[in-house]
Chain A
């Protein structure tokens, strides 16, 4: 009896994992508002099975996006204080965004319609990045290399610039090439020029 229950438990965990992984792929390809019946169809499970594991559509969305956020957060955390040079830090940051371009594009386009707990995942990612950013900025200001700006204005200006290119990627890179790959040097160099004393 215990063996059967153990097998059922393993099956339950595996099904939940399969639904999350399928949802991640579907959300990337079709956007975060994709209905759960599409995810069930792609996962090869009954529509009701989704709700055995996730009480609401929003709950599934949160857990799928949390998985992205954990993976990206781990990389952002690796930026660390050793990247104390602002240019090196920005290049590393934009590389991480570029590796997850589809995720960021969808997030930026749909952020205002997402529930607060899901939106807070982006705030968490920005908290990690801005923490390293603030250390590098402070050091560059003390060294007299960059203008004395508040952390939030300097960070939001950088983020606003990158987000604008992601949001309008069809105009900046109409042939489908990665907009980050194409413009990362120009974005980093121009931003640093703006901040230089």
Chain B
């Protein structure tokens, strides 16, 4: 089982992979419309928005949690060093 390098989501079926391509390392939620992977800033904003919408956190706290999650993910670990 592969996990998305950009958000950590498990990818079990082709529909969960970007462009339905099981060779890709990122998921359908982390891809742009053209199929490329979202940038660090796009993902940070998207993840923060998602936490605010679904869990109702204060936006500053949600951003901090989003960054904490991203530090542990292969796609973004270097962005924090």
Interface residue stretch chosen among A27-35, A83-91, A151-159 = A151-159
Instruction: Please indicate the chain B residues that have their CB under 8 angstroms from the CB of A173 in the complex.
Output: none
User: How many of chain B's residues touch chain A, expressed as a range?
Assistant: 10 to 19
A123 touches B65 (CB 8 A): yes
B10 touches A74 (CB 8 A): yes
Instruction: Please indicate the chain B residues that have their CB under 8 angstroms from the CB of A119 in the complex.
Output: 65
Interface string of A146-175 (1 = CB under 8 A from B): 000011110110000000000000000000
Instruction: Please indicate the chain A residues that have their CB under 8 angstroms from the CB of B12 in the complex.
Output: 77
Contact of B51 among A73, A117, A127 (CB under 8 A): A127
Tally of A-B Cβ pairs under 8 angstroms? 50
User: How many of chain A's residues touch chain B, expressed as a range?
Assistant: 20 to 34
Chain A at the B interface: SS class: helix
Q: Does A126 contact B (CB under 8 A)?
A: yes
Q: Does A134 contact B (CB under 8 A)?
A: yes
Once bound together, how far apart are the Cα atoms of A128 and B9, in whole Å? Answer: 8
B56 touches A152 (CB 8 A): yes
Q: Does B23 contact A (CB under 8 A)?
A: no
A155 touches B69 (CB 8 A): no
Chain B at the A interface: SS class: helix
Residue of B nearest to A115 (CB): B68
Once bound together, how far apart are the Cα atoms of A151 and B57, in whole Å? Answer: 12
Rounded to whole Å, the gap between the CB of A116 and the closest CB of chain B is 5
B10 touches A123 (CB 8 A): no
Contact of B55 among A74, A116, A123 (CB under 8 A): A123
Interface string of B39-64 (1 = CB under 8 A from A): 00000000000111111100000001
Once bound together, how far apart are the Cα atoms of A119 and B53, in whole Å? Answer: 19
- With A74-B1, A116-B68, A117-B72 known as contacts, the answer to whether A127 contacts B55 (CB < 8 A) is yes
Q: Does A131 contact B (CB under 8 A)?
A: yes
Rounded to whole Å, the gap between the CB of B50 and the closest CB of chain A is 7
Instruction: Please indicate the chain B residues that have their CB under 8 angstroms from the CB of A155 in the complex.
Output: 54-55
Once bound together, how far apart are the Cα atoms of A155 and B64, in whole Å? Answer: 21
- List 10 A-B pairs, minimum CB-CB distance, nearest first: A152-B56, A130-B54, A120-B68, A77-B10, A120-B69, A123-B65, A120-B65, A151-B54, A117-B68, A116-B68
